Structures are given as structure tokens and as C-alpha cells.
Amino acid sequence: MNYQKKSVRDIDVKGKKVLLRCDFNVPTKNGVITSDKRIVAALPTIKYLLENGAAVIACSHMGKPNATFDSFVKKQTEKGADPATLTEDAWKKSLKKLSLKPVAERLSELLGQEVKMASDVCGESAQALAAELKPGEIMLLENTRFEKGETKNDPELSKKLASLADIFVSDAFGTVHRAHATTAGVTEYLPAVCGFLIEKEIGIMGKALADPERPFVAILGGAKVSDKLNVISNLLEKVDTLIIGGGMAYTFLAAKGYTVGTSLLDSEKLDYCREMMKKAEEKGVKLLLPVDTVVSKSFPDPIDGPVEVCTVDSDKIPADLMGLDIGEKTRELFADAVKSAKTVVWNGPMGVFENPTLAKGTIAVAQALADSEAITIVGGGDSAAACEQLGFADKITHISTGGGASLEFLEGKELPGVAALLDK
């Protein structure tokens, strides 16, 4: 995939109407935004466009609304609701909870200027506001997933959205692995470039995968091998050292012939793990697995509740215990591998890091990256959350804004929302 894509810097936006795809999928409680991090992250691109004379038509999805009454009834019925109690009013109420109105209000505060809010995605309200929008002004469309054609990449919806603007700017990396109307569809009808967030993502991650400074170390964690099948295989083509921790490590340990007690085991993937260990050997890649493991009688319930643990060697896990984190020797082993690296990519926690007792492995990896002088890249999701919670975010070269997108990036997959942008 070509990562050399045109950005907003490469085009003239003065006097143009720009349809800007943002990631405003922010958490809310009772209609109040509980974290505005994603809105703040979009500001550099928005300010650049406004300051350079563009009229900005921002758009985003939020959550997973039921775009039709029928789909609302179907989903609620599947959850056990009585269909007789499901009214159109109840459906509209569920949509109201996922309105982008609070985002428009917060964005207005952050920009210090009014963000005009359309009451629809591409209907009369959106069309009227877009027609009147002047250079230096900004408006926000309603939640794009209120249109059922959004996730289906419907050409009619894409055409309607494109008719509002002259240029499309994509700046929501967390959505580019999906071919939706507002990530790929509109690019059929408008010249398309990336904003600063996506420019940074594909610049740093693209270089790390295509031309890394060596030694190149990748660290994979998380629960299941099946979640990262293609990532493991793809990284073995590129890295000097591959570290595997988290729940997925137990399937690799079992593939080596070790007993893993009641630990998470992807039994259908044992042959795959053996293939990957053989591939590592053939490629001259050092494959590091846990040498000791923090074990307990059962998974903590609640997840952050008290848990009694002890540490055992990874080849001696008792039959009635489950591995829930990497042990001290493994923490040192993994940290040492990071010390000599020039490029490090990390995706997935080393244990049940939501529990303080079982977070030491994930903390040790985060600390190793924070202390490293290498280019350090953290994939989205739990690894990113761990770095931020621990206060290490400012010591990491790049924390990806997209969980699923960064994972597919590591798989070597073509991301439709990136492929659709103009090449430099």
C-alpha cells in the first residue's frame, strides 16, 4: 500500500467548502461529554482549514445507532424486549442519545467561534447551512450513522454528501479500515486528502513497517491468537525480535508442549503457533515468550477485585491455576529486548491490566518504552489506555488513535479510507 498521500498542506483550500471526516465518537453520560480528547485531537486540522480560508463541513459518527425503526425493533427484541413496547418515540429517544449536538457545543468552546449544527446528515438542514457557509466558518452534520447508507457505503448517500463540498479531507484514522460512505464513498466524487492526524499515523507507522530503523522489536499481547493471526505472520517478515505476552502467549506455550493449567487456550490454533515458531527460526527472528507467569485460581470477579496470586515458571503451570500476567523474570527479559531496539511497536496488554495486582507486566512494558530512546509506537486500544493511565503518553513517539485500524495496518492490509486518498 502506498503511504505517500497528499495532505491539506498539498492543496489550496482558500474559498473552498471542505467536507472534513473527524472522529468525534466521544464518550458521553446523560448527554454530557466525559472525555473531549478526540475533539481536541481534531483541532489542528480544523484550525488550519479555517485560517486558510476554507468553509468547514465537519462530519462524524457516534456509537452504533439504529438507522431505521425496523432495525431498532430487531436489535431490542434480540436483547429480550417485548416488541409491543417498542414505539417510534422510543426509537427517536435512542437516536437523541447519540446526537452530535454536545460535540458542536464543545467544539464551539474550543474554537472560540460558533459551530453551526445541522439537524440531519444531508437533508434540508445540512444543505441549507452548507449553502450559506462562508470561508472561515464551520458547521457540523448530525451523526452520519443516522443514515443507513453510511456503513453500507451507499453511492447515493456518498453523492449527496459530496454535493455539499468541493474537497474531502479525511482525519479519522480510527475509521479508515472500513469502507463507509464518509471514509471511502465520497472520494469517488471529490478530490480527497488527509488531515494532520492521518498524515502522522501513516507517516510514522508506514515508515516503521516499510523501512524501520533496526533492531526492530514488536510486542504483541491481548487475549486470543486468532485476533492477531495475520499480524504475527506479517511482523515475522519485518522484525528482528517478536515478543508475545498476554493471554495469547499460553497457546504458544501449549504448542511447545507445556501444560498451561486453566489459562486461556486457543486450541484450534496450536498448529498455527508451531508454524509461526518455525517461521521465526527460518527467518532468524528472535521469538520471545514468557519464562514465568503470575497465576491464580480464577479470573478476578469483579475484574478489579482482590486476587491471590503466585509466580511459577511458564513450563510448570499447575493444572488448577490460570496465567493472568507475565512474571518478574519475563518483565526483565522483555525490557532488555526493548533497550537495544531502535524501533518498537506494541499492541496489546501483557495481562489483566485493569486489575492492579495483574498490571505489573503491562506497566513494565510501558515503562520500557517510555525509557527507550527508540522510535516507539503504541497501537490503539488497551495498550494506548495503559500508557495514558500511567502518565507515559508524552514519552512515547506515537500513540495510534485507531485500535482496529492500527491492527489492520500491522497486518499489512490495505486500508480503504487511506487507499482512496490522492497519492503525492
21 is catalytic: no
In 185-240, which ranges are E strands?
Answer: 192-194, 216-220
327 is catalytic: no
Q: Report whether 324 contacts 358 (CB < 8 A).
A: yes
Catalytic residue among 203, 404, 412, 413: 404
Catalytic residue among 75, 101, 200, 224: 224
Catalytic residue among 381, 402, 403, 417: 381
Measured torsion, CA atoms of residues 175, 177, 179, 184, in degrees rounded to the nearest 10:
70
Q: Residue 343 forms beta bridges with which residues? A: 216, 375
- The DSSP output letter for 5 is B
Catalytic residue among 38, 178, 228, 331: 38
417 is catalytic: no
Tell me the angle at which helices 101-111 and 37-51 cross, rounded to the nearest 10 degrees.
Answer: 60
The whole-angstrom separation of Cα 297 and Cα 77 is 37
Per-residue DSSP letters for 21-68?
A: E------EETTEES--HHHHHHHHHHHHHHHTTPEEEEE---S---SS
Q: Report whether 22 contacts 62 (CB < 8 A).
A: no
CA distances to 194, 242, 272 from 263, in Å: 43, 22, 18
Q: Count CB neighbours of 424 within 10 A.
A: 11
224 is catalytic: yes
The whole-angstrom separation of Cα 104 and Cα 99 is 10
* Three-state SS at 405: helix
Catalytic residues: 38, 224, 381, 404
